[in-house]
Amino acid sequence: MNVTEMKCLTEQVGDAFYLLESKQFRENFVELKEEFTKIYPNFNIAYSYKTNYTPKLCRIVNELGGFAEVVSDMEMEIALRIGVEPKNIIWNGPFKNAKKVEQLLVMGGTVNLDSAYEIELISEIARKYPNHTLNVGVRCNFDVNDGVVSRFGFDIESDDFKKALTVIAEHENLYLIGLQCHFATRALHTWRPRAEGMLSLIEELGILPEHIDLGGGLFGKMADSLKSQFDSEIPSYRQYAEAVAPVFAEKFKNCAEKPMLLIEPGSALVGDCMHFASRVVNIKNVRGKHIATLLGSIYNINPTLNKKNPPIEVVSMGNPQSEYVDLDFGGFTCIESDYLYRHYNGNLAKGDMVVFGNVGSYSVVLKPPFILPNFPIIDISEGQLEIIKRGESFDDLFHTFNF
C-alpha cells in the first residue's frame, strides 16, 4: 500500500485497523469448491463461523451456496440473522445449549452429536415433537495417524457411539442425516485416512447418510515467508481435493444416490483475507536491542500465540527512516512476551505504519478485552471504503459490569 492510500485510511479510521479482503474471500471459496466438485460434484463447504464470524463473510458464503458450520448459539444466531436457511446450518461443538438445539432442530437445521450427554437431550426433543422430522448427525472419532487423541466426537469403537446410533434409530422422527469427523491437524497426509475411515465406517454400519462431513483443518494460502515456518508442507486446495474426492468418486461411482461430501474450512478460506495495520509509536534501544512499540498487540493478530512471524510490510509515512537489524515489534499490552514480530531487518521510523498479513483466522474472534478495546475493521477490496465493524468503545466492554 502506498503512503497516500495509507494516509487517507488513517485519517478516516485511526492509527490501527484491520483490512478485510472480502474479494479474496469470495475467490477462495469459489476456487476451493471448484477443486473438489471437479472430481466429486456432490460437494459443499460448511464455513466454520468461529474462525472469523464477520457477518459480511458469513453472508458471502450463504450467497455462494455454502453452509454455516456453527458451534454455539451465538453463531447460530449470526447465521439466522443474515438469512441462512436453517436446513443449511450444521451445529457441531462439545457443548450445546439445549433450548437452542431444540429451536434449530425444529426449524430443520442439523445438530451433530458430540458426546453421550446429548443422547438423552435429543431423545427428549424427539418425544416432544413427534410430528417433526429432526435432522441429527454423529461426530466420529478414529485414528488418522496424526499422533493426536482428539477429544471431539464419539470413539467409533465405543458403546456410547453404538448407543447414539441405536437411540436415533429407535425414534421414528430422528433422521440420521450425516456423519461428521474433524481433526485439527492440517497435514495433507491425514486427509485420505479421514475419507477412508468414514467410508469404511458407513460400510460397516450398512448405512448411506446424505452427508459425509470431513471437518476442517486445512491450511490456506500464505506467503513463502510464513510457509517456511511450518514443519510440514503447506498443501494447495487442489492437493486436499485430490486426497479425498477421488476416494468418494470411486466408492460411489455406480450409486444413483451419492452422499454429499462436506468439509468445514475456516482458516483455509479466511486466513489470507485480513491484514492488520498499526502505527509505530516509539523506537527504543534497551541494552543494544532495538524494540519498536506499536499501537497493536499480538492479541490483535494472533491470540493463539503460535510464535510465527506474519508477512510484514512497512509503509513509510514521511519521517526519515533508519536501517535496523534484528528489531522486535512489541505490543501495547503490559505482557512481556507481547511481540507481533521478531527479528525485523529493514528501514523504519517512528510514525510509520506496519501492515501484517494473514491475520484472518482466530484473530478478531479471540481478541480479549485486555488493555485496549479492539480496533475497527474496514474493507476496501471491493472499491469503496466500507466500515465492517466500528472501533470498540469503553461502553462496549463495560456495560455488563455494575459500577
Nearer to ligand PLP, 235 or 331 (CB): 235
Nearer to ligand PLP, 101 or 292 (CB): 101
CA atoms within 13 A on the CB side of 187: 12
| Residue nearest ligand PLP, CB atom distance | 216
Nearer to ligand PLP, 22 or 92 (CB): 92
Shortest CB 183 distance to ligand PLP, Å: 9
Q: Which residues bind ligand PLP (CB under 6 A)?
A: 48, 51, 69, 92, 182, 184, 215-218, 264-268, 361
Shortest CB 282 distance to ligand PLP, Å: 35
**Strand blocks (E) in 301-338:** 312-315, 322-330
Strands 16-20 and 274-286: antiparallel
CA angle 232, 234, 239 (to 5 degrees): 120
Query: Rounded distance, CA 73 to CA 96, Å?
Result: 8
Query: Rounded distance, CA 274 to CA 356, Å?
Result: 9
Q: Helices in 108-158 by DSSP H: which ranges?
A: 117-128
Do residues 47 and 250 lie in contact, with contact meaning Cβ atoms separated by under 8 Å? no
Q: Nearest to residue 381, comparing CAs of 14, 64, 57, 47?
A: 57
Q: In whole angstroms, what separates CA 176 from the centre of its chain?
A: 26
Shortest CB 362 distance to ligand PLP, Å: 7
Shortest CB 106 distance to ligand PLP, Å: 23
Nearer to ligand PLP, 7 or 189 (CB): 189
Shortest CB 17 distance to ligand PLP, Å: 23
Cell of 193: 485416512
Do residues 46 and 92 lie in contact, with contact meaning Cβ atoms separated by under 8 Å? no
Shortest CB 284 distance to ligand PLP, Å: 37
Shortest CB 28 distance to ligand PLP, Å: 12
Shortest CB 265 distance to ligand PLP, Å: 4
